[in-house]
Amino acid sequence: MGWLPEVSAIGYGGDYNPEQWPEETWPDDIELMRQAGVNLVSIGVFSWALIEPRPGEYDFGWMDRLFELLHDAGIRISLGTPTASPPAWFFHQHPEARVVTRDGTVLGFGSRGMVSPSSAAYREASTSIARVLARRYGKHPALAIWHVHNEYGAPVSECYSEESTRAFRLWLRDRYGSLDALNEAWGTTFWGQRYGDWDHVSAPAVAASVVNPAQRLDFARFTSDALLQCFVAERDAIRAECPDIPITTNFMAGTCPSVDLWKWADEVDIVANDHYLVAADPRSHVGLALSADLTRSIARGRPWILMEHSPSGVNWQPRNLAKRSGELARNALTHLGRGADAVMFFQWKASRSGAEKFHSAMLPHAGTGSRVWQEVCALGEGLGRLDEVLGSEVRADVAVLWDWESFWAQDLEWRPSEDLSHRERVDAFYDRLWRDGLTVDFAHPESDLSAYRLVVAPASYLLTEVAASNLRRYVENGGTLVVSYFSAIVDANDAVHPGGYVAPLRDVLGLTVEEFLPLRAGETVRLTPTGVVGDVWADDVALEGAEVIAAFEDGPGAGKPAITRHELGAGAAWYVATRLGVDELSVVLRKAYEDAAIEPADGPAEVEIIRRHGENADYLIAVNHGNRPVDLPAGGTDLLTGEAGDSLKLEAGGARVVRVDHSPGGR
């Protein structure tokens, strides 16, 4: 089974916005799609003003014709609801629906994604257009999937309007039930903030000093829920008219921090993601792998859709670097290897006008004679040979803990050091695991971790008692846990745990942290006997049974434990009390691998190898990000070229998809 019922081919295509072009050019576009191997396109994502030019007045003629053209060409449709960009008439009628920023600025028209998610008028208008589209096209044979809205939470998510404030109060009443419970959760006795009337509770707008962090954290939760309610309202409106077609929306896993996708994943039929390389990062392919692994994890291991990525450069970064020759295929196949069963781009045809006219496209301004076009066609041809990969699984022995609520809390003001960064720690640990050739799942701290030999907690600042009990049980049952500094500090209300820092994991780690010892800018600390150097942070660790693997040789924590290991039940827990770079993390993780009985790969650097496991064969997706050819560690048949043998060479900058048949009686 692939990414959609009755679909036996890998999805390939992108956003198609034919309304930007004369209609007589549409047949030529669609013929070029067929040449490129396109079998799926997204349409209608930003077409509200054309579909409903005036309130309640609809024009479907152009979309009807487009549906028929695509259907006749055998190209299926991901139909977008255009609700990420309401028309000018909506804002004219409902100025109260505009987003108000935290400092009180009212955002104007002329962009996208600028509606308050708590606006009743927007909720009514968006569900209405979704319902009308479902009635019109819900039974059309070309329709493959519904694509609701576009990138919820981007470019804005929070809104501090009066309507949002009223909705926040209702959300709080539902969460806490009483003002006494709210005051307790927020610790309002501090700075005399106690509330005696619900009407006195407001959104945490800019104030004279730092606003109550528990209030800020709850507003982040509320914002994610408010956006999700918008999606659910549209989804339910569509489902009432069109119950048999799957419904999704495009996440931005790892790059849009304002939505808790663990919750969102339960509300979509299929998980979809958008990913764009960070051009300034010379190792952006590792960030791509992280995003893909996170998306697969959000999907609970099920097939997912890469809804957008770029054929070459984007247009919104400070320096929009073009992809190198072959990078388009490497990026696409990495996503495929990490679980995507559809590979889509933004967009099909480069726009001549508007804010994204310099964004790359499958059919660029340079036309069919361009390098990008040739690579797009080659990728389409290659993906057409990989249909048997559909539905195969990616398996991981390692999980990295990822919790949006913890990240929201850690990123608030007045933390012990401005150099603390949850994302930097996640990236560093992930990069080390990537270099060691290990496939990674991401997991919520309260989720079932029993399938993993190793669990890494790079940044679990907010850790609930439920999560701590889950980690304790994991270690006791034989798991290996690695915890980095500034973890298990606060509870769900951003209050320090009773018993002090790391209290919920005190018995798991065999230690307590008595004091934070953040370092000055540029200051480093040396660890003995390892000789590695840390920076940014040190903890004043007091041992309660843990074994010292390395100690601080100098700095404010001189003589104190820096790396520890503690056995609990059948497992072991490691603690790292300073910031170690990607190379230095080997000191900890190589030893943790031994505890977990994991064998890191010792292959060539910058060669990425992922396995997808099928019923009759495994599929080795190998991508060479380096500048030298290498021999693959396993033979088989390259589905892209048909080449077979016991040893296959992977060219510099190349990629292969190798089928390795299961041995008789095994997998």
For residue range 201-257, list pLDDT tens digits in order. 999 999 999 999 999 999 999 999 999 999 999 999 999 999 999 999 999 999 999
β-strand 247-248 against 143-147: which pairing, if any?
Answer: parallel
Tokens standing for residue 506: 């005190």
How high is the pLDDT of residue 647? 86
Contact in structure between 284 and 277 (CB atoms under 8 Å) = yes
Would you call 153 helix, strand, or coil by DSSP? coil
Active site residue 158: no
* Residue 56: exposure state from Cβ atoms within 10 A (0-12, 13-18, ≥19): exposed
Ranges of H-type helices in 73-140 = 88-93, 120-137
pLDDT tens for residues 285-340?
Answer: 999 999 999 999 999 999 999 999 999 999 999 999 999 999 999 999 999 999 99
Query: Who contacts 520 (Cβ-Cβ below 8 Å, separation ≥6)?
Result: none
SS3 content of the chain, % helix, strand, coil (to 5): 35, 20, 45
Catalytic residue among 151, 158, 584, 608: 151
| Nearest in space to 245 (alpha carbons), one of 358, 87, 138, 355 | 138
Ranges of H-type helices in 312-421 = 327-337, 371-383, 404-410
Instruction: Measure Cα distances from 430 to 306, 315, 433, 459 in Å.
Output: 21, 28, 5, 12
Query: Who contacts 655 (Cβ-Cβ below 8 Å, separation ≥6)?
Result: 326, 329, 330, 333, 621, 622, 623, 624, 640
The C-alpha angle 607, 437, 346, rounded to 5 degrees, equals 60
Percent of the chain with pLDDT over 90: 95
How high is the pLDDT of residue 664? 66
Query: Who contacts 3 (Cβ-Cβ below 8 Å, separation ≥6)?
Result: 11, 270, 303, 304, 305, 341, 342, 390
Query: Who contacts 170 (Cβ-Cβ below 8 Å, separation ≥6)?
Result: none
| Nearest in space to 267 (alpha carbons), one of 226, 239, 231, 227 | 231
Q: How far apart, in Å, do the first and last CA atoms of the chain sit?
A: 19
Beta strands in 479-584 (DSSP E): 480-484, 511-516, 524-528, 533-535, 539-543, 547-552, 561-568, 571-576
pLDDT tens for residues 134-174?
Answer: 999 999 999 999 999 999 999 989 999 999 999 999 999 99
Q: Is the pLDDT of residue 1 over 90?
A: no
Query: Rounded to the nearest 5°, which phi and psi values hold at 451?
Result: -80, -10
Predicted TM-score of the model (pTM): 0.97
How high is the pLDDT of residue 4? 72
> What number is the average pLDDT over the span 451-467?
98
Active site residue 388: no
Catalytic residue among 52, 158, 163, 308: 308
